[in-house]
Chain A
Amino acid sequence: SYVLTQPPSVAVAPGQTARITCGGHNIGIDGVHWYQLKPGQAPVLVVYDDTDRPSGIPERFSGFNSGSTATLTISRVEAGDEADYHCQVWDTNNDHVVFGGGTKLTVL
């Protein structure tokens, strides 16, 4: 079955760039989507279809997907970006949804 692998944690200082990876076999041919989860809040879609941002999401959030790795990049990190980030693909072969295990972003 499809498996997406994320690092458990990433830590960056404010103002720096955070890069969160999502690895999967040939993930580059799938559309990858990213969600931000904060305690007590509904999850928020921050990037969809590899690179697109929903309205209201700052340009500081960007995505890239190629080969076996998709990457969510958060530029000029702010304290408010501290959250768990999860990647997701729709496994069209099996019509199933797959999530990565999530990455906790800590702003130092």
Chain B
Amino acid sequence: QVQLQESGPGLVKPSETLSLTCSVSGGSISSYYWNWIRQSPGKGLEWIGYIYYSGTTKYSPSLNSRVTISVDMSNNQLSLRLTSVTAADTAMYYCTSVVLGGDFFGIWGQGTMVTVSS
């Protein structure tokens, strides 16, 4: 059973870059599409984007100019980078997986809370 664990700094200053890592265990990183999803306080879930192990990516139009998702096959990790953050980027960030051929998120990490504040 695939397990996901997010990690990263809990506090980021405005205008700086948010960087998170998701460690994948118990499964092949090449068998899934890897997604990042976030939930701001009091709001709904927001899809950030996905990456396939080949490097193919797709991002939410609202974040496309600031987001980069990458995968490190050798370490079984994926990463999220979000530049020029503001308070609106304060959220719980989740790493999730989509089985090839599927379009739903079957496995989620516990999430990591990121606060943007000076």
Contacts and interface: CB of A to CB of B under 8 A. Distances in A.
Interface in B1-45: 35, 37, 39, 43-45
Query: Which has the most chain B C-beta neighbours within 10 Å: A35, A42, A43, A97?
Result: A97
A48 B104 contact: yes
Interface in B73-106: 94, 102-106
B117 interface: no
A48 B94 CA distance: 19
B104 A49 contact: yes
A42 B45 contact: no
B53 interface: no
Given A42-B94, A102-B44, A96 B106 contact: no
Query: Which has the most chain A C-beta neighbours within 10 Å: B45, B46, B60?
Result: B45
Q: In the complex, which range does the number of interface residues on chain B fall in?
A: 20 to 34
Interface of B: 35, 37, 39, 43-47, 50, 58, 60-61, 94, 102-106, 108-111
Contact of B61 (A43, A49, A96): A96
Nearest to A42: B108
Given A31-B104, A45-B106, A88-B104, 11 more contacts: A42-B109, A43-B94, A43-B108, A45-B105, A48-B106, A96-B61, A98-B47, A100-B44, A101-B43, A102-B44, A102-B45
B47 A99 contact: yes
Query: Which has the most chain B C-beta neighbours within 10 Å: A42, A45, A90, A101?
Result: A42
Interface of A: 1, 31, 33, 35, 37, 41-45, 48-49, 54, 86, 88-90, 92, 95-102
A46 B85 CA distance: 33
Nearest to A97: B47
A10 to B, nearest CB: 15
B63 to A, nearest CB: 11
